[in-house]
């Protein structure tokens, strides 16, 4: 009980001391998210530990994994803001780069006050100057913000050129940093500024948040230059939740357009359009989709000298003028190497899923097709509510070239009616779920009637090919 009481006093004192400092860079129990406007990559701050030394404090952000370039994987490396944060009672917050050089932030500096933020080994230094002390709305809250401009000087105090010149660091009273560079690579390789954004770790419920009639457009590209792109559309038909709202169930219509080059007698495109309806569900909707770790934080399993390092990135990408949040899992399979006396990478891997929170979607990102060809699937558009983004290439193909067949009823107990809606010559193929063709026929016009009386109940497929070689495949159920 005495230890718990002492810890409570320390935490209470630290939190109140941070507030007393007026302006601050970080808070001990708050998650911060930052993104750069170029790549959209999201960085995070969440203090993992705090050590108190009198009125000073040493904070540590979570660890990340780094490939050191010398055969070793550093699984507990410092994050983007460096190894530690030294909070001093004189208002200076000290950060450390990869060389353990100090970076000083003076939270008590007043308007036009300058201080030495960083000193190079040769005596040159970076000077910070408070340009403004103003208010702004940060994540729907008005806060006071100090803006410090950076200028590199030689050891005589004269301005010299450097990529860091003119860059700004911003910190506030209630939200900590508002804008900052990457301190771990500071100053030479810290080329981007990260600005605070309103973000949080994603749950399954946020990612798989489809609504009826939502549609998502995909493009499949292949590393084989002779393979043309394929396209697909997924449309949400129905949606309902479980009794306890922990699971959600969807019926989804998938349309896939497969393009292949037929080289005989002359090279020409052969297009097949397949339509299928599937049932899908997702559970544990309130659970975090990537473990209980922050973006870039490492999840390590090195039991018995072998294991893996997992992590994930969060980023935003621009689609139709809207920044869409996404994240993807990555890491290494590792084992302990006795010669190098470190954990080394056995195999790099990237998980095959990308979570698009703003659209409620998950899709296969890239991977092999079993023949050595790399397949990349990317979403290039969507319809969600009243918002439309991108061109539906599948609809374009359907409206111009596809036979546009409508089959009904489906499911059926005997007769299937086909209405192609276009006058043309068609080849009909009816096959079972083993791929065996049971009926082949040719007809002209746009109406056709097929009897299934002689076939047992089950799953079947019906293929229609028009005079231009475009084919559509339907899934058909007899019951």
- pLDDT per residue of the chain (479 residues) written in tens, 0 to 9: 333 333 333 443 344 334 335 899 998 778 999 988 777 788 999 998 888 888 889 999 999 988 777 778 787 899 999 989 999 999 999 999 999 999 999 999 999 999 999 999 999 999 999 999 999 998 889 999 999 999 999 999 999 999 999 999 999 999 999 999 999 999 988 889 999 988 888 788 877 888 898 888 888 888 777 778 888 888 899 999 999 999 999 999 888 888 777 777 666 667 777 888 889 888 998 988 777 788 888 877 655 444 567 777 777 766 665 555 565 666 666 676 777 677 776 555 444 334 444 444 444 444 444 555 677 777 777 887 777 777 666 654 443 334 345 788 888 888 988 887 778 888 888 888 777 889 999 988 788 899 998 999 888 888 887 777 677 777 788 88
CB of 393 closer than 8 Å to CB of 257: yes
CB-count exposure of residue 464 (10 Å: 0-12, 13-18, 19+): buried
User: How many distinct helices (H) and strands (E) make up the chain?
Assistant: 3, 32
Q: At a CB cut-off of 8 Å and minimum separation 6, what does 347 contact?
A: 332, 333
Residue at a domain's end among 394, 416, 439: 394
Same domain, residue pair 256 and 362? yes
Would residue 151 be called left, alpha or beta, if left means φ above 0 and alpha means ψ between -120 and 50 degrees?
A: beta
35, containing H or E segment = strand 32-35
Boundary-marking domain end, from 342, 360, 394:
394
β-bridge pairing 268-283 and 471-478: parallel
Integer angstrom CA distances of residue 212 from 209, 234, 252, 268, 393: 10, 11, 9, 38, 21
Paired tokens of 85: 């944060």
Domain finish residue from 196, 215, 250: 196
Is residue 46 located within the same domain as residue 132? yes
Range of the domain at 342: 201-394
First to last CA, the chain: 69
Q: Which residues pair with 310 in a beta bridge?
A: 299, 331
The answer on 294 and 224 residing in a single domain is yes
* 0.85 exceeded by pTM: no
Encoded tokens for 208: 């798989």
390 and 413 assigned to the same domain? no
The answer on 405 and 381 residing in a single domain is no
Our count of domains for the chain comes to 3
């Amino acid at each position: 009980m005495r230890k718990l009481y002492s810890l409570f006093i320390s935490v209470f004192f630290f939190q109140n001391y941070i507030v007393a400092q007026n302006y601050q860079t970080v808070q001990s129990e708050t998650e911060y998210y930052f993104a750069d406007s170029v790549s959209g990559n999201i960085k995070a701050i969440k203090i993992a530990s705090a050590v108190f030394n009198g009125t000073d404090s040493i904070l540590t952000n979570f660890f990340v994994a780094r490939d050191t370039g010398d055969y070793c994987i550093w699984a507990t490396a410092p994050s983007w803001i460096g190894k530690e944060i030294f909070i001093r009672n004189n208002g200076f917050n000290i950060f450390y780069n990869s060389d353990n050089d100090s970076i000083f932030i003076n939270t008590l500096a007043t308007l036009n006050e300058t201080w030495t933020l960083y000193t190079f080994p040769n005596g040159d230094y970076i000077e910070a100057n408070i340009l403004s002390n103003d208010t702004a709305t940060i994540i729907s809250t008005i806060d006071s913000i100090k803006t410090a401009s950076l200028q590199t000087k030689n050891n005589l105090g004269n301005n010299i050129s450097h990529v860091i010149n003119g860059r700004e660091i911003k910190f506030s009273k209630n939200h900590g940093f508002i804008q900052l560079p990457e301190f771990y690579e500071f100053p030479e390789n810290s080329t981007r500024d990260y600005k605070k954004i309103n973000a949080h770790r994603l749950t399954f419920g946020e990612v798989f948040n489809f609504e009826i009639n939502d549609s998502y457009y995909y493009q499949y590209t292949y590393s084989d230059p002779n393979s043309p792109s394929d396209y697909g559309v997924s449309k949400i038909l129905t949606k309902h939740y479980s009794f306890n709202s922990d699971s959600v169930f969807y019926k989804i219509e998938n349309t896939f357009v497969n393009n292949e080059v037929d080289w005989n007698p002359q090279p020409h495109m052969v297009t097949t359009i397949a339509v299928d309806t599937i049932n899908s569900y997702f559970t544990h909707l309130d659970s975090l989709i990537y473990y209980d770790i922050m973006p870039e934080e490492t999840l390590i399993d090195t039991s018995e000298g072998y294991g893996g390092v997992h992590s994930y990135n969060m980023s935003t990408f621009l689609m139709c003028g809207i920044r869409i949040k996404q994240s993807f899992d990555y890491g290494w399979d590792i084992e302990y190497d006795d010669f190098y006396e470190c954990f080394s990478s056995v195999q790099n891997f990237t998980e095959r899923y990308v979570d698009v929170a703003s659209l409620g979607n998950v899709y296969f990102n890239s991977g092999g097709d079993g023949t050595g060809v790399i397949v990349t699937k990317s979403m290039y558009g969507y319809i969600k509510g009243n918002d439309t983004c991108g061109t539906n290439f599948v609809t374009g193909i359907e409206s111009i070239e596809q036979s546009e067949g409508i089959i009904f009823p489906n499911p059926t107990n005997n007769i299937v009616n086909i209405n192609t809606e276009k006058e043309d010559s068609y080849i009909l193929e009816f096959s079972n779920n083993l791929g065996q063709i049971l009926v082949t026929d040719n007809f002209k016009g746009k109406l056709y009637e097929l009897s299934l009386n002689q076939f047992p109940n089950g799953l079947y497929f019906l293929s229609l090919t028009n005079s231009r070689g475009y084919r559509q495949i339907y899934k058909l159920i007899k019951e």
